[in-house]
Homo-oligomer: A and B are copies of this chain.
Amino acid sequence: MKNSGLLVILSGPSGCGKGTVIKELLRRNPNVFLSVSATTRLPREGEQDGIHYHFITKDRFESLIAEEGMLEYASYCDNYYGTPKAAVEEKLCAGKDVILEIEVQGALQVMNKRPDAVSIFILPPSAKELEHRLVGRNTEDRDTIDRRLAKAWDEITYASRYDYAVVNDDLMEAVQEVEAVLIAEKCKSVRMEHTIASIVDKNC
């Protein structure tokens, strides 16, 4: 019997290098997919529908919420952002692993709805380094940086609510740890029930 893929929640504060970890993870593992979020905001310059986001109308988004078609969602600045369930389920049923790169509040929603989801929090190597990375960008005014820093600290306090925490100091090490989590989770005996049963049954 074919096993279902893993639903993986991946969060981490801005500046922790989460995007780079995911990019490398996808490059090395063709069986792992990144879920594309849906949003009601308009595409920005260069953003492609179905790649950066699924750009949908507010009506469509609210219908999806009503019919429980969203794994998680939130609204910011009058726009909705969320994870459509159907595309995720399709990949999982086909035995593919699906990464949800989502914020803490969305992650908590998914953990509630899907206790089988595997959650990983990406940590910066230190508080100093995170601050350095966020300030060092130097593209935003001090207010924006302060807001981003405050949000990052707030998010990090949720790290212990995740199943796993991976420190992104050395990129390849962080990727290897995420890969190890995926392999280990598939070896969990609750996920090996069919394999165990098939070996035991042949004895009858």
Contact = CB atoms under 8 A, between A and B. Distances in A.
A202 B160 contact: no
A29 interface: no
A157 interface: yes
Interface stretch (A40-48, A55-63, A186-194): A186-194
Contacts of A192: 123, 159-160, 164-165
Interface stretch (A77-85, A86-94, A100-108, A175-183): A175-183
Nearest to A201: B127
A157 B127 contact: no
A195 interface: yes
Contacts of A128: 202
Interface string A23-40: 000000000000000000
Nearest to A167: B195
Nearest to A204: B127
B156 A184 contact: no
Of A120, A166, A196, which is in contact with the most chain B CB atoms at under 10 Å from its CB? A196
A124 interface: yes
